[in-house]
Amino acid sequence: MKMYLISDNIDTWTGMRLAGVEGSVVHQRAELKEALDKVLADKEIGIVLLTEKFGREFPEIIDEVKLERKYPLIVEIPDRHGTGRKPNFITAYVNEAIGLKL
């Protein structure tokens, strides 16, 4: 099973290449859609890493893949500018998921 990165910047792509993860750099909506279609057609790819920017700018494309497919796993990662999430993101997520305040 392979991982594949779809990034919005060359720095993240370069770092992941050094770790042995193949990928591509895209900037436009059509490029993202084309890259995702290519990845979804490759049955050897089990995990797709996407920079968080795509989740913010094109949520309908990402959500469509997440909701309609069980495979591959889509993981949004921070890019070189850091995460766009609040500092207590994980605690808030757990609180919401289990209904308890930690």
Report whether pLDDT(93) > 70.
no
- CA-CA distances (angstroms) from residue 79 to 11, 31, 42, 64, 73? 8, 18, 25, 22, 18
Q: Using 50, 70 and 90 to split pLDDT, how confident is the model at 56?
A: confident
Confirm if 75 and 48 have CB atoms less than 8 A apart.
yes
Give pLDDT, residue 101: 64
Q: What distance in Å separates the CA atoms of residue 26 and residue 32, rounded to the nearest whole number?
A: 6
Please determine, for residue 80, whether its predicted confidence score (pLDDT) is greater than 80. Answer: no
Judged by DSSP in three states, 45 sits in strand
Lowest-pLDDT range, 7-11, 56-60, 73-77, 91-95?
91-95
* Model pTM above 0.85: no
23/31 Cα distance (integer angstroms) = 13
Over range 83-90, report the average pLDDT. 63
- Please name each of the domains of the chain with its CATH number: 2-98 (3.40.50.10580)
